[in-house]
Amino acid sequence: MNEVNKKFLKDSHLIIELKLCTVRLLDNFRFPWIILIPKRKNITDIFQLKKIDRNLLMQEIVYSSKIMKKTFPTFNLNVEKIGNVISQLHIHVISRSKKDSAWPLPVWGVKKKTYTKSILNENIVKLQKAFKV
Amino acid sequence: MNEVNKKFLKDSHLIIELKLCTVRLLDNFRFPWIILIPKRKNITDIFQLKKIDRNLLMQEIVYSSKIMKKTFPTFNLNVEKIGNVISQLHIHVISRSKKDSAWPLPVWGVKKKTYTKSILNENIVKLQKAFKV
């Protein structure tokens, strides 16, 4: 088991601990956006995971994707492993709609906008309910 | 089996047909960049694939990632499913270096620059050799 990078703790909120991944909601009002962080030490790339964990990661990406699609208005899902800034392996799962502020581009060109406390709490509750926390 | 979207045919070059995916090199001098296109009809999202295909996709992402890392100068790999513009499911696997023109941001903010014919051919040959075509 490893520790979640401090930058994630600051910018996101715990939703659930799945078997492999910690799931956290990013504090960005512009897009419903979660990250999946595999609880394995010193892993920066998908190919460094053992085969059993890679298949588990795929399973948890699929499970989380379906929940995101069900929970938020979603025209399309973006699923991304970037890790240029924070190297600890993490997968972004982002609900995209044609009306969001970056469409049709990926989300990275748009400055983040934090949630109001009430919408943040509402989304945490919605997600935790969907994940059956 | 499905057909590869015409936009891909125009902007990229066939490297190899794997069991699940067609692998193509994008014509962008700025980043060594391949796409993996699962040969399944009417699939736009990873979660629409059958479980056996999802695990195969994971396996081919890992295989291709290792080849990209071995073939090109790579500080980090970006692995991304976007699909906002072309909905046919495809996964980007991009070799990133700290000296590339978008670092540390994802690649999407930088305008593409096509290869010269000789460097394009060189990279196709390198990749096909690595994939043992």
Cβ-defined contact of A58 to B54 (cutoff 8 Å) = yes
pLDDT, one tens digit per residue, over A49-88 is: 999 999 999 999 999 999 999 999 999 999 999 999 999 9
Query: What pLDDT is stored for residue B21 in this prediction?
Result: 98
Compare all CA atoms of chain B with the CA of A102 and give the residue at the minimum distance: B84
Residue B101: pLDDT over 60: yes
What's the pLDDT tens digit per position in B114-133? 999 999 999 999 999 999 97
A62 to chain B: which residues are within 8 Å by CB? 46-47, 54
pTM of the model: 0.97
Inter-chain touch B58–A62, beta carbons under 8 Å: no
Q: Is B94 left (phi over 0), alpha (psi -120 to 50) or beta?
A: beta
Residue B1: what pLDDT? 55
Amino acid letter for position B47: F
Which token pair is A6?
């401090």
Nearest to A47 among B57, B62, B105 (CB): B62
List of residues 6+ apart from B30 with CB closer than 8 A: B100, B101, B102, B107, B110, B112, B113
Residue A105 pLDDT: 96
Residue B67 reports pLDDT greater than 90: yes
Among A58, A85, A96, beta carbon nearest to B104? A85
Return the residue matching tokens 């298949």.
A55
- C-beta contacts of A81-84 below 8 A and 24+ residues apart: A81/A45, A81/A46, A81/B77, A81/B78, A81/B79, A81/B80, A82/B78, A82/B80, A82/B106, A83/A44, A83/A45, A83/B76, A83/B78, A84/B76, A84/B78, A84/B96, A84/B103, A84/B104, A84/B105, A84/B106
pLDDT of A129 reads 98
- How far, in Å, CA of B129 to CA of B133, rounded? 6
pLDDT at B13 exceeding the cut of 70: yes
Q: How far is B44 from chain A (nearest CA, A)?
A: 9
The structure tokens listed for B111 are: 């305008």
| Confidence tier at A3 by pLDDT (50, 70, 90) | confident
Would the pLDDT of A2 be above 80?
no
